[in-house]
Amino acid sequence: MSIRSQRKEEHLKLAQMFFNKEKYNSFDQLHLLRPALPETKVDINVLATKMFNKNVSAPFFINAMTGGSDKSKIINQALGRIANEENIALALGSTSILAKEKEQLDSFYIARIEDPNGILIANVNPETPVQTVKDIVHELHADALQIHINTIQEIAMPEGDRNFFWLNNIKEIRAEIDIPIIIKEVGFGLDQNTIHILKNEGISYFDIAGSGGTNFAQIENARNKYDVSYLEDIGLPTVISALMAQKEQVDFIVSGGVRNPLDVLKGLTLGGQYVGISNVFLQKFNDQGYDGLQQLIAEWKEQLAALIAVYGKNDLVSLTEIIKYYDLPLKNQIDQLIK
């Protein structure tokens, strides 16, 4: 096994070790005003929407997790099957390993084999050569491309990058790729100025991936001979990052600490077009396998449809109209950061 593949498997093990489905985060400080008399009915059909010109059954999807090793191939095969059965989108983990280890393509392509017509989102780091990105998009028949930006993880990673001049390569990728490009954080949140800069460079989609879920500083600290645990708490909360994206009037995905259907609803009320879920789904698969994860996703659809009815709505478009209020600690942060 190569060093890169070994790192992929270490990430999977550590994500499982540190997983806490009850972890407190900014979603807990955001509340929605519920009408006691909603005058609605539960209809799962209200969840149906379009994503990158394809129909999907729900506005949430399986977000980037893994790829590039034997174990991750097994996971991606299952995720591809589930995405196909449930008609939701699937984002793959970073495919940048393919720049040097093309033999790992199967660990990603297996998802496309299992879901030949569904939405598959490729994922690369911002330093990936443009030609490699073009090859990956072509070989996976990708519907969109995530470019992840992850400075904190790189600093915490023993073998991580130390050069963060990424913008020019992102611009070159944007010029050469003819599918939607999504700039994605990895659990530390996109700030408003970064969104603004990239928006002006022609990037129209963002995955805010705020803090509150998987903490890659924690994961990398467990692999590091030095103590870099001080990096674990410097992320931008998901709710604040979402409000920043909303302020910039861009299309964005809410992810980072989504634990249940109510968090999905909150993400949609913040203006997210879609909501991405990673570790909750990964650990459900680890615990209960294919059937357990598929059942969970089916249950989330039913529960999200019920919540939409409970909050007095009968479509996705009007969810941003639900009145929101915040606990004071989060409200204070919002007042300081959102101008």
CB 26 within 8 A of CB 259: no
Binding residues for substrate, as ranges, are 7-8, 153
* pTM, full prediction: 0.95
| Range with lowest mean pLDDT among 22-31, 81-90, 249-258, 267-276 | 22-31
Binding residues for Mg(2+), as ranges, are 154
The rounded distance, in Å, linking the Cα atoms of 224 and 233 is: 17
pLDDT at 245: 98
Angle at 270 between CA 267 and CA 274, to 5 degrees: 45
User: Distance of alpha carbon 143 from its chain centroid, rounded?
Assistant: 15
**The residue to which tokens 């989609």 are assigned:** 205
CB 324 within 8 A of CB 31: yes
**For residue 224, pLDDT beyond 90:** no
User: Distance of alpha carbon 234 from its chain centroid, rounded?
Assistant: 19
Average pLDDT over residues 269-284: 96
Find which of 6-10, 12-16, 296-300 is predicted with most confidence, using mean pLDDT: 296-300
CB 133 within 8 A of CB 142: no
pLDDT at 66: 83
Nearest Cα to Cα of residue 216 among 153, 281, 149 = 153
The crossing angle, in degrees rounded to 10, of helices 261-269 and 238-247 is 30
| 304-318: pLDDT as tens digits | 999 999 999 999 999
pLDDT at 71: 86
Binding residues for FMN, as ranges, are 64-66, 94, 123, 184, 214, 257-259, 278-279
pLDDT at 21: 73
Both tokens of 124, joined, read: 């690369």
**For residue 275, pLDDT beyond 90:** yes
Instruction: Write the secondary structure of the chain as one string of H (helix), E (strand) and C (coil).
Output: CCHHHHHHHHHHHHHHHHCCCCCCCHHHHEEECCCCCCCCCCCHHHHCEEECCEEECCCEEECCCCCCCHHHHHHHHHHHHHHHHHCCCEECCCCHHHHCCHHHHHHHHHHHHHCCCCCEEEEECCCCCHHHHHHHHHHHCCCEEEEECCHHHHHHCCCCCCCCCCHHHHHHHHHHCCCCEEEECCCCCCCHHHHHHHHHCCCCEEECCCECCCCHHHHHHCCCCCCCHHHHHCCCEHHHHHHHHHHCCCEEEECCCCCCHHHHHHHHHCCCCEEEECHHHHHHHHHHHHHHHHHHHHHHHHHHHHHHHHCCCCCCHHHHHCCEEECHHHHHHHHHHCC
pLDDT at 28: 97
The rounded distance, in Å, linking the Cα atoms of 17 and 279 is: 11
123 forms bridges with which residues in the sheet?
146
Band of pLDDT at residue 8, cut at 50, 70 and 90? low
pLDDT at 70: 84
pLDDT at 217: 84
Architecture of the domain delimited by 3-337? Alpha-Beta Barrel (3.20)
Strands 205-207 and 181-184, sheet pairing: parallel
53: left (phi over 0), alpha (psi -120 to 50) or beta: left
pLDDT at 254: 98
Average pLDDT over residues 35-55: 98
The letter for the amino acid at 152 is I
CB 169 within 8 A of CB 183: no
Binding residues, as ranges, are 7-8, 64-66, 94, 123, 153-154, 184, 214, 257-259, 278-279
